[in-house]
Amino acid sequence: MERKILDLFKLNGQTALIVGGNRGLGLAMAKALAEAGANICIAARDKKENGNAEELIRSTYGVECMSSYCDVTEEASVVETVKSTVDRFGKIDILINSAGINIRGAIEDLSLDDFNKVQQINVTGTWLACREVVP
């Protein structure tokens, strides 16, 4: 029986948690992982968009998919998202950190609060998700 090269990249039975996965690059990554056979958890702050992404993944790719409210600026929210994903799928094999913001402007026009908000979401949120997923 001839093996196809794409068979080497199948993710059947694996679980991917995509933080920031309900739109943009996160959703594109969720689609690609689902197409390869991975079960998906979409985690982001917008519950309606999470539900839309969940339904799209489930109906298009035929994999198991769930969504979870996740605010990466809140440690408890990240902890709960990881817990609910593991409760549903038994494990997390792949973590995609795609939540992020960018506040544009000249450095002299940006406030310290704006800078801290970007750091909290882009850096601390990524760190929290990585820390929680590590077995």
Q: Tell me the mean pLDDT in the region 47-54.
A: 98
The band of 1, judged by pLDDT with boundaries at 50, 70 and 90, is: low
pTM: 0.93
For residue 27, being part of any structural domain is answered with yes
Q: What is the 3-state secondary structure (H, E, C) of 58-101?
A: HHHHCCCEEEEECCCCCHHHHHHHHHHHHHHHCCCCEEEECCCC
For residue 109, being part of any structural domain is answered with yes
For residue 4, being part of any structural domain is answered with no
Read off the CATH number of the domain in which 14 is found. Answer: 3.40.50.720
For residue 1, being part of any structural domain is answered with no
pLDDT tens readout for residues 95-117: 999 999 999 999 999 999 999 99
Count structural domains, the chain. 1
For residue 82, being part of any structural domain is answered with yes
Instruction: Report the C-alpha gap between 122 and 130 in whole angstroms.
Output: 12
For residue 43, being part of any structural domain is answered with yes
- Asked whether residue 6 carries a pLDDT value surpassing 80, the answer given is no
Q: What is the domain range of residue 92? A: 10-133
For residue 3, being part of any structural domain is answered with no
